[in-house]
Chains A and B, each alone.
Chain A
Amino acid sequence: MLDFLLRVFGRETSSSKNVAKERLRLVLVHDRADMSPQLLQELKEDLIKVISNYMEIDENALEVNLDTSDNSVALVANIPIIRMKRSSNRAEKIG
């Protein structure tokens, strides 16, 4: 009812243009998140490098994917740990 009244008095809260903009925004979040497999592989390798400083991981079982749900895109990584390190390699290097 209120919506109708606002429409009548020309103060619509949800003009169709805003609907269009919001739908575009969401669809482009997904479109633009379309990472090339090569780029994803590079990310994987970098991740392994960094994480290996702190823990021993099962590199073959490592999974990195972009997960797109209704209104967001997330980077989801599944990284099985074999063993934790007591001190990081970095600390050893410094020490």
Chain B
Amino acid sequence: MGEVIVITSGKGGVGKTTTTANIGTALAALGYKVVLVDTDIGLRNLDVVLGLENRIVYDIVDVTHGHCRMKQALIKDKRFEGLHLLPAAQTKDKTAVTPDQMKELCRDLKKEFDYVIIDCPAGIEQGFKNAIAGAEKAVVVTTPEVSAVRDADRIIGLLEAAELHDPKLIVNRIRPLMVKKGDMMSIEDIIDILAIDLLGVVPEDEMIVVTTNKGEPAVLDNNSRAGQAYRNMARRITGEDVPLMDLQDDTGFINRLKKLIGFK
């Protein structure tokens, strides 16, 4: 029996979809059977981040309404045998699926897969309620900004109210140099405020833009620091004890030299 994990944040644009794609891909690379579920009906994006947008025939609404069988809607990843995507519908809205239907869907999926990872839409309305309905564990993504941390706090409260206890935190897009200068909240500051356990920290990384452009998750690129952070998080999800990576910016001469030799 697999595990259902929802990736949520409250605020939009903090990296839920990127996180879902990367942790899912990293888990598949470790040999697990993984399905990524896009619940952002009307604004689907997980397909393009994964580079699978051309293969969609059926979507989550088709499955929950019985228009097709689950197997027909699942898209197999081109890189990893174990990785699958259940895409969101693009032409419907959030009310096309109910929390009860989501519970049933998750129940079915976790029979087949080791990890069911749900990409939650931004906001706290119906889409959020659907996304968390069938989940057993929750991950909250935030960035070191007042608005994102505030929304994360609200989401943590709502998860608690929905009996999804003990969510884990991902702090995304941290810039160690700015933290050092005192111009960005540190991991400690954010944990102090939100009072939940850390799953991982992702340093700001331009490679994310590049890999997303290509539709290839950053975890596939060994030079991407964000990719490394996501690989570590995937291992933590499987129960392995992985220390936080060194967050020093690679702007030093030696590091730039390494980067130059490493690729390009």
Contacts and interface: CB of A to CB of B under 8 A. Distances in A.
Interface of A: 12, 15-18, 20-21, 23-25, 27-28, 31-32
7 contacts: A15-B181, A16-B182, A27-B146, A27-B150, A31-B150, A31-B153, A32-B157
Contacts of B153: 28, 31-32
A25 to B, nearest CB: 7
B186 A17 contact: yes
Query: Per DSSP, are chain B's interface residues mostly helix, strand or loop, or mixed?
Result: helix
B44 interface: no
Query: Per DSSP, are chain A's interface residues mostly helix, strand or loop, or mixed?
Result: helix
Interface residues of B, number: 16
A12 B182 contact: yes
B183 A15 contact: yes
B166 interface: no
B189 A17 contact: yes
**4 A-B pairs with least C-beta separation:** A15-B182, A16-B183, A17-B182, A20-B146
Given A24-B146, A27-B146, A27-B150, A17 B183 contact: yes
A17 B146 contact: no
Interface string B163-193: 0000000000000000101111110010001
Contact of A25 (B181, B182, B184, B193): B193
B185 A20 contact: yes
B182 A21 contact: no
A71 B22 CA distance: 40
- Max chain B C-beta neighbours (<10 A), residue from A15, A21, A24, A25: A24
